[in-house]
Structure 1
Amino acid sequence: MQPDLEVVSLHTDASFAAWAHGYPYRTVRWHFHPEYEIHLVTATHGRAFVGDHVGTFEPGNLILTGPNLPHNWISDVPPGSSIPERGLIVQFGEPFVRRCLDTFPEMSYVADLLKDAEMGVEFSAEDGAAAEPLLREMLTAQGVRRLALFFALIDVLHRSTSKRILSSRVYRSDPATYMAQPLNIVLDYIASNFRSDLREAEMAELSGYTLAAFSRAFRRHAGVSFVHYVNSMRIKRACDMLIADETRIAEICFHVGFNNLSNFNRQFLAHKGMAPRDFRRHHRVNATLAETATIPMPSAVREPRRRGTGENRSAYP
């Protein structure tokens, strides 16, 4: 079975995406994306599939996957169960990593880790415990604080002494073949054109399906209807803009592809449980509180003050 494409929405003013999801959720399927992913399981047990690896997971399971490496986590829960939060996720693209490697000589120490990510890397429960507070704060952090948390997280992964490669050395992902699948072509088109007036009949034609067959196949593929999927992508972009600056809500509405403010407000309320203005206000409060927090650094970074030297030496290479 070919993996489905997951479209990762990265704001133009952000270097990476940080988010949480429950179970079931639309991305809980055999899927791939061009971005690296750091995934921490916070609830449920089950089976993990990464490339040609099949294993188990439990709360605290921390895994790094590389670009286009198919993966999935399937929880062992009774049918119909709902889990508010199952995992914390950070996703970042290769261009961002390349810029970091070119700009910061210190990043050269993680080059091997990023290479191993092509096959998937699993970390210890202790590493998962160290990563969790960083991941949680990333959900609301802004500006330089957000970057500081990211580099602290990468440091946890780099310094781990209990990590293992998941997929076999002979396993190779094949993104060109994955993208040849009709519905992956549609998802890629939607990601590039979600601000346009997208019509389901036109997407059905692009995929080669009849309209009825496309509607059924799209719901199976994405977990939601075509209209819900497009609106979710637009709302996600609107949230990014509400967080980033003080752009007027009416301007955001039309920028992300809605054709009237009433529909935008209605869809935003349905997806987020609050109005756009309240979302912006709540995020501002969270961001203000986060500014006073401190980054919990990995214990390996801390080194006692040397006697008689009056200095505190860093444990970094």
Structure 2
Amino acid sequence: MVLTKPLLFRVPTVDDRSFRIEQDNAPHFYGQLHYHPEIQLTLIKQGEGTLIVGDKVDRFGQNDILLLGANLPHVLRSDPGYYQPDSVQRATSVSVLFRSEILEATMLNLPETKHLNLLLQEAKHGVRLRCGTGNLLTEQLEELPHQRPFEQLLSLLQLFDNLATNPDREVLSATAYARPQRPDDQRRLEHVFAYIIRQYALPVSLEDVANVANLTPGAFCRFFRQHTRKTFSQLLNEVRIENACRLLRESQENISQIAFSCGYTNLSNFNRQFKEIVGMPPGEYIRNYRL
């Protein structure tokens, strides 16, 4: 897959509404790292895969709620099975996109809504809330497309209030993004992230990924550290271990087979990286998941 599209998204507007509601229903989510000037509130109704928000690499799944700040690079990369020609899996979501300056100048400028400004500050790093089925927040988001515009505005404020007061929400990225400074740098990151997600199961050298970024290895290391606060090997290990967690939950393969299928040729190295990233050995992870 060759990535040629620019990273910046222009969200179309068809009227003078202060926010826009979108419903996605497709074989898989859009798989390129991108950003846009709108803040995005999304409910994942169906779908699983790799989540990248700023410098955070993790999983996303059904009933996740994401609040992503303006110009925060992100991607929901569906699992490989969603891309198979005979797949019956679907990726569905409900999203609200809005310009923060509109709400900040109006509804969020009231004394009663001052607490919501902290949530919007957290959104610059990305916020996630993992919900169960039958959760009030997921029901509110699913109902949004069927409401009148005034009802949608009231529901949106209530959603923000519920998120802002929920102690289970988590901030995702260590780095906040105010606006992209150089589009060429963002495109380089897009190519690098896409390459790693596509090739993680194979041997990936520093020279390989530096070539993708069209930089020398030394220049690439400085570039990558500056923009992600990580080394290339850290990100590669995070992507590999994230996929290993998925396979440990879903497949019948043993730990050695999973380590090999995620790009590790040395089991002890896999175990060490897994414990460092997940906080426990693979065997304990399986036992905890099956409790």
Superposition deviation, residue 44 in structure 1: 1.9
Q: 2:182 aligns with which of 169, 172, 177?
A: 177
Contact preservation (8 Å) 2:28, 2:91: no
Structure 2 residue 146 is matched with structure 1 residue 140: yes
TM-score, structure 1 as length reference: 0.51
Q: Quick one: distance in 2 between partners of 1:95 and 1:14?
A: 13
Q: Which residue of 1 aligns with 2:119?
A: 113
Q: Quick one: distance in 2 between partners of 1:121 and 1:73?
A: 14
Moved more, 76-85 or 142-151: 76-85
Q: Quick one: distance in 1 between partners of 2:160 and 2:147?
A: 16
TM-score, structure 2 as length reference: 0.55
Contact preservation (8 Å) 1:51, 1:173: no
Structure 2 residue 55 is matched with structure 1 residue 52: yes
Q: 1:6 aligns with which of 4, 9, 17?
A: 9
Superposition deviation, residue 71 in structure 1: 0.6
Q: Quick one: distance in 2 between partners of 1:119 and 1:128?
A: 27
Moved over 6 A (4+): 179-182
Kindly provide the amino acid, as one letter, of the partner of residue 21 in structure 1: D
Secondary structure at 1:56 match in 2: strand
Q: Which residue of 2 aligns with 1:21?
A: 24
Cα gap change, 1:102 to 1:39, in 2 (>3 Å): closer
Moved more, 98-107 or 150-159: 98-107
- The 5 Å alignment of 1:1-317 reads 4-24=7-27, 27-78=30-81, 79-80=84-85, 81=87, 83-101=89-107, 103-126=109-132, 129-169=135-175, 172=177, 174-178=179-183
Q: Quick one: distance in 2 between partners of 1:30 and 1:100?
A: 31
Cα gap change, 1:51 to 1:181, in 2 (>3 Å): closer
Q: Quick one: distance in 2 between partners of 1:50 and 1:62?
A: 13
Kindly provide the amino acid, as one letter, of the partner of residue 178 in structure 1: P
Q: Quick one: distance in 1 between partners of 2:123 and 2:109?
A: 21
Contact preservation (8 Å) 1:40, 1:128: no
Contact preservation (8 Å) 2:51, 2:76: yes
Superposition deviation, residue 22 in structure 1: 2.2
Secondary structure at 1:139 match in 2: helix
Contact preservation (8 Å) 1:48, 1:71: yes
Cα gap change, 1:162 to 1:102, in 2 (>3 Å): closer
Secondary structure at 2:71 match in 1: coil
Cα gap change, 1:63 to 1:181, in 2 (>3 Å): closer
Moved more, 48-57 or 133-142: 133-142
Contact preservation (8 Å) 1:43, 1:87: yes
Superposition deviation, residue 66 in structure 1: 0.3
Q: Quick one: distance in 1 between partners of 2:70 and 2:88?
A: 29
Query: What are the superposed Cα offsets for residues 8-27 of structure 1, whole Å, 9 maximum, x if unpaired?
Result: 12343312111211234674
Kindly provide the amino acid, as one letter, of the partner of residue 90 in structure 1: V
Cα gap change, 1:101 to 1:148, in 2 (>3 Å): closer
Q: Quick one: distance in 2 between partners of 1:29 and 1:130?
A: 31
Superposition deviation, residue 181 in structure 1: 8.1
Q: Quick one: distance in 1 between partners of 2:151 and 2:179?
A: 36
Q: Quick one: distance in 1 between partners of 2:107 and 2:97?
A: 17
Identity of aligned residues (%): 26
Contact preservation (8 Å) 1:42, 1:87: yes
Q: Which residue of 2 aligns with 1:238?
A: none
Unmatched 5+ stretches in structure 1: 183-317
Unmatched 5+ stretches in structure 2: 188-291
